[in-house]
Amino acid sequence: MDMPLLPPPRRHRSLFLSDLHLGSRGCRADRILAFLRDHTAPDIYLVGDILDLWHPPFPHWTPSHDAILALLLGRVQQGTRIHYLTGNHDAAMRVYLGEHFQRITVAEETVHEAADGKRYLVTHGDACDPRILRFHVMTRIGSRLDWILRNLDGRLKRMRRTADPERRSLIEALLKGVDAALAFGTAYEERLVARARRAGCDGVICGHFHKPALHEAHGLVYANCGDWVDSFTALAEDATGQLTLLQGSPLPEPASGFAPAFPLPAEA
């Protein structure tokens, strides 16, 4: 039986995704794959924590993970430029800083120039964590606890076969609450905006905090891509330079569609 043809992906000028956490228990590779099949751009920015390299003894890897990498490499072969910005969970990728693999570049941060001439500092965001969270041992402990709890959650879900797979469990809600508590307040936003201001940019595009946002509350544009563990969002730039947060569909099928949200208001 012939496979149905997928519709062509929606094309943006630039696309920004962060915190895929490929290899971790919390990663929703099916939703990432569905999103990438529906959206593309000449420039795709992977804004840190794309690979989760903190769990090498216990990687969670499925055919969907392989399909994501194959899709991205296929886009590169078709002319897409991929900008890989390293994060704290994939800091090991920094051995490739400055390297160019065909149209793939690896950097800690970069500057993106939008269609309207605005310049955005693109960085993962972990450099602006509160000081206590920058200690390596603290982040590793948190990562291991996350893996244990999500592994337990997966086992409980398999026992409750009638449960809605899209319904957030108590453990998932707890982990999301912990992330929200760690990102309480806006001090980290202010630090990132100040970093962009020092770089002579008009705003910052980041990830790391698993908290999608798009506003100008601190004088410059603050754009957080969100993540693919809890929020399932990405950031897109259109042909005029306007930034928009895209919300992934709750269904894994790529034909289900995606709804944009939170457009940045046009300047007066």
How far is residue 221's CA from residue 203's CA, in Å, rounded to a whole number? 4
Closest-CA residue to 126 (of 202, 203, 49, 213): 49
Q: What are the pLDDT digits (tens) for 102-118?
A: 899 999 999 999 999 99
Asked if residues 254 and 37 have their Cβ atoms less than 8 Å apart, the reply is yes
Q: What are the pLDDT digits (tens) for 12-26?
A: 999 999 999 999 888
Cα of first residue to Cα of last residue in the chain, in angstroms, is: 55
Q: What are the pLDDT digits (tens) for 246-259?
A: 998 765 444 444 44
- Whole-structure pTM value: 0.77
* Tokens linked to 49: 């924590």
Closest-CA residue to 212 (of 229, 194, 196): 229
